[in-house]
Amino acid sequence: MKKRNLLKKPTAFFLSAFMAALCVPSALAAQPSSAAYEIRLGDVNFDGDISVADAILVQKHVVNIRGITSDAVPFCDVDKNGEITVADAIEVQKHTLSILKIEDDATRHSYFDTSGQIVSYNDSAEVNPNSGGYIGGKRAKAIAYEHAGVSEDDVRRLEIEVDRRKGAVVYEVEFVVAGYEYEYEIDVTSGAIVHSYKELDDDFRLGDIDPSNKAYIGAQKAKEIAYEHAGVSADSLKKLEIELNRKRGVVVYEIEFESGGYEYDYDINAETGEIVTSYKEHDNDFTTNPGVDPGSVDYIGEKRAKEIALAHAGLSAENVWELEAELERKGGVIVYEVEFKSGGYDYDYYINAESGDIIGSYKERDDYRKDTDVTPPSSSDYIGEQRAKEIALSHAGLSADKVSALEIELDSKRGVVVYEVDFKYGGCEYDYDINAVSGEIVSSYKELDDRRDPVIDPNNNGYIGEQKAKDIAVAHAGVSADSVRMVEIELDIKRGVVVYEIEFKSGGFEYDYDIDAVSGEVISSYKELGDYRDDTNKFDPDSRDYIGEQSARDIALTHAGVSAGSVREFEIELDREKGRVVYEIEFKSGGFEYEYEIDAYTGDIIKHEKERD
């Protein structure tokens, strides 16, 4: 029989050893030693040596067979690629056979303490994590769990470290349970809780939310709420997206869709169905279907738009080809984009769909190329800047004394020497290329000047007025006028449209509206829960729905384990934090400072903190 060389077949050897080890897991899953020594990458049973037992434990972890503690998981990733796979187990096996050496520099600051618990230490803290006088990381962790009222099975993202805080050496214990973050500092010798902190964990991902939770209203109901509020039907939507997420500590359905030329964005409370945030604005990305009726009687129509463009270009329909017209939105204005070709030129026009005004016009040679065999004309053949300027102004129908920002420059474009003439007039930008020899207009361009500083006349009789704009916003928000406060209103230009920008607060929400100053149309609307701290009418401090200051005080003192007689500098205030009405409580007792946030409705402790005074 031919012998197999196990040194050359580590995988085969490993697999056979693994199968055998499954029958005797307790023999390999050694418990941590109480000796103080540095842990090495690959030593997942913490016995001070890297052996085949460690390789098998890594393999068991890969196939979800429990064999190692959560503390040991970081020491399984020996190839340091961020994943624990069979490849890691094989590398451990190769290390035991001296085929390769595991580099353990990444773990050189991770140690057992004297209790046998894995901890790490801060180099700059100048502390000894293995001091014989310490209670041990395992005990510190138990103290924190007991105080928090949680079990180890529910804990995730546990971190424990020995550090120095305000001159004292402490165990820093941090973990997450049931959507909350906990942070403790435990005195390393006495086990006293020097500092404790708890708050909602806003960083966890969708995996921490159960989409099948029966307390949730469901995606379909959330969509219906959004559609009803937006005043749209499901069959009019496009680009619908819905996702369960957490915003400011509240689980919400995040819903986004487009309809009728607008973009909508909603956050719907997953339990109550309340609209936490709503947003609506013009969709300026669409082209072929801008959310308007092409047959609207308010529009001049494609035929008339083409006639206007052709008349401006001095051409008839018989002399052009590839004539196209399309309804589109440009800078907040509905326009007909008219394109055609004639006489070796490309023409492009933007015609206001309601007024027929030419908002933009463009003309250039049709894809001509530079002829490398043609000798460039001499400067003596040029018509000169003055003549080029006259040609451009004449074509635009303007005189030099009316325009501003006039610039002229000699340049070469596509093999043709041209005068570039740029100027502004009446809120529009003009751009001309004039053939430097013949004076022919090679290209002409006109468009609305979006970079201009708008000049708005607040007394313009064409505007609906601040009061009317405010009434429209309040009515759209569905709130009563007497509940509205902190109103701010301002005339502004957004995307080429003059709007009333209105901001106000009502019922714990902040609202932001842009109202078309001429038509009164709601251009955009936004609503979100407010985190404001003003003291006027944000909520009723005497509401019977609240537990009251006395109950909130009792809850805080009971949790802190202190008597009312020992408390000093006690302060309590009703406020809103992350969408919740809470009692904010601060006090001192026995050399410590305490801070609490108590839910004003339920009495739940949202956040608490304790530290030395």
Each residue's pLDDT tens digit, 549-593 = 888 999 999 988 888 889 988 988 888 776 678 889 999 988 888
pLDDT of residue 519: 85
Residue 185 lies in a domain: yes
Is 429 domain-assigned?
A: no
If asked whether residues 152 and 173 sit together in one domain, one would say yes
Residues 34 and 96 in one domain: yes
Residue 486 is encoded by which pair of tokens?
A: 């902190």
CA dist list (Å): 335 to 329, 350, 430: 6, 6, 19
Q: Is the pLDDT of residue 208 over 90?
A: no
**Can you tell me which residue has the tokens 């802190």?**
560
Domain boundary among 200, 232, 267: 200
Mean pLDDT of 101-113: 52
Most confident of 24-28, 152-156, 315-319: 315-319
pLDDT computed for residue 469 by the predictor: 93
What is the reported pLDDT for 543?
65
Q: Given this model, what pLDDT does residue 587 score? A: 92
Total tally of structural domains belonging to the chain: 5
Share of the chain above pLDDT 70, in %: 74
166 and 241 housed in the same domain: no
As a three-state string, the secondary structure of 213-233 is: CCCCCCHHHHHHHHHHHHCCC
For residue 438, being part of any structural domain is answered with no
Q: Per mean pLDDT, which range of 49-63, 120-134, 227-241, 299-313 is the poorest?
A: 120-134
566 within a domain of the structure (yes/no): yes
Share of the chain above pLDDT 90, in %: 8
Same domain, residue pair 572 and 586: yes
Q: Name the residue among 25, 46, 24, 29 with its Cα closest to residue 37.
A: 46
User: Rounded mean pLDDT of the chain?
Assistant: 75
Phi, psi dihedral angles at 379 (to 5 degrees) = -65, -25
Q: What is the pLDDT of residues 466-515, one digit of tens each?
A: 999 999 999 988 888 888 887 889 888 776 678 899 988 887 778 889 88
- Give the count of alpha carbons within 13 A of 522, CB side only: 22
Exposed, middle or buried: residue 154 (CB in 10 Å: 0-12, 13-18, 19+)?
A: exposed
Domain with residue 503: its CATH number is 3.10.450.40
Instruction: Please give the pLDDT value at position 391.
Output: 93
**Distance of alpha carbon 161 from alpha carbon 397, whole angstroms:** 78
For residue 393, what pLDDT band results from cuts at 50, 70 and 90?
very high
Which residue, among 536, 526, 433, has the nearest Cα to 484 in the 3D structure? 536
Q: Which amino acid is at 581?
A: V
Give the structural domain span for 173: 112-200
Contacts of 591 (CB under 8 A, 6+ apart): 612, 613
CA distance linking residue 87 with residue 490, whole number of Å: 64
pLDDT of 164 > 60? The answer is yes
End-of-domain residue from the set 108, 142, 168: 108
Residue 193 confidence (pLDDT): 84
- In whole angstroms, give the CA distance from residue 600 to residue 580: 8
Express each pLDDT in 209-252 by its tens digit.
677 778 889 889 999 999 988 888 888 887 788 888 877 667 88
Where does a domain end: 74, 92, 108? 108
In a domain, 501, yes or no: yes
Q: What is the pLDDT of residue 90?
A: 87
Is there a domain that residue 332 lies in?
Answer: no
For 323-373, the pLDDT digits (tens) are 888 887 765 678 888 988 887 778 888 888 888 888 777 777 664 333 333
CA pair distance 138, 155, nearest whole angstrom: 14
Against a cut of 0.75, is the pTM above it? no
Residue 5 lies in a domain: no
pLDDT tens across 540-551, in order?
A: 666 667 888 888
Q: How confident is the model at residue 306 (pLDDT cuts 50, 70, 90)?
A: very high
